[in-house]
Amino acid sequence: MTRVHPLYDLFASLPAPPDPIGLYPDYAALRDRFLAARARGDDLETEEAFLTLYCHVHGHEAPYTAEERARVDRTGGYWSHAGGVSPILRAGPHIRPDTVLGDFGAGNGLQGLLIQRLFPHRRTVQIEISSRMVEAGRALEGWLGIPPGRVEWVVGDVLDHSPAGMDFVYLYRPVRPTGEGRAFYEAFAREVGRGVDEVVVFSIADCLRDFLPPEFEVFYTDGHLTCFRGAGKQDS
């Protein structure tokens, strides 16, 4: 319970988020429910109400153009499921002020934005195929009071992007590890840790384990979130 408190305090202090694409129609009602449960001191109800509010701001359904949807269909990616608050809170000890963090399949970037807000770091790179979700995410930066220049938004296919130069990578099964998607995990495993001293990977519904070199250590897993640590590699 107590681990969720930084996010409780944050969400209780924030006004309604800017909503350029109509993603959060129930925000006011869900926030009121969360605040009322918290005021009553009912821990279980507060947690449930908070998670519902968080999932609402995350967005359940990403809007895609026909072309974006065809790409997601071809690579068997997950739609907009929320990774949850556990990876956000667990990220803290692995984030330093000079960390470059990447989220491969970021949706509106809520995960990376909340990590940036709670644990400020050099750069958060948000890679997402839905251009409308990226538009929604850009608007959340100011809402969360994130200083300009900290977040880089990339509208694109994860298959075209590398984790090289990133010290912390977060991903929630953006593509299926078969067919075209398999190439993503193979390339990711080759590139991860390149150009950094050490890399930590948080993977939800993990598909990476079978691709990463054996030197990567799993230091946490609960069936939902799997956390890896690996030595970086410098180009000679």
Ligand X SMILES: C[S@@+](CC[C@H](N)C(=O)[O-])C[C@H]1O[C@@H](n2cnc3c(N)ncnc32)[C@H](O)[C@@H]1O
Residues that bind ligand X (CB under 6 A): 58, 62, 71-72, 75, 77-78, 80-83, 103, 105-107, 111, 127-130, 133, 157-159, 172, 174-175, 204
Supply the angle between the helices 43-58 and 5-13 in degrees, to the nearest 10: 60
Which phi and psi angles does 59 have, rounded to 5°? 90, 130
Q: CA 218 to CA 139: how far, in whole Å?
A: 35
Residue with tokens 């410098």: 234
Which amino acid makes up residue 204?
I
Residue placing its CB nearer to ligand X in the complex, 81 or 194:
81
Sign of dihedral through CA atoms 125, 150, 59, 38? positive
- From the DSSP assignment, how many helices (H) and strands (E) are in the chain? 8, 7
CB 163, min distance to ligand X, A: 13
Contact 201, 185 (CB under 8 A): no
Cβ proximity to ligand X, 37 vs 130, nearer residue? 130
- Least spacing, CB of residue 76 vs ligand X, in Å: 8
Q: Which of 119, 106, 108, 107 lies closest to 146, judged by CA?
A: 119
22/41 with CB nearer ligand X: 22
Task: Tell me how far, at minimum, the Cβ of 114 lies from ligand X, in Å.
Answer: 10
Token pair 């993503």: residue: 184
CB 108 within 8 A of CB 136: yes
Decide whether 81 or 150 has the Cβ nearer to ligand X: 81
To ligand X, the closest distance from the beta carbon of 112 in angstroms equals 8
- For residues 124 and 130, which CB has a smaller minimum distance to ligand X in the complex? 130
Residue 61 corresponds to which tokens in the numbers above?
């359904």
Q: Taking the complex as a whole, how short is the minimal distance between the CB of residue 153 and ligand X, in angstroms?
A: 12
Output the smallest distance, CB 70 to ligand X, in A: 11
Strand partners, 218: 228
CB-nearer residue toward ligand X: 37 or 166: 166
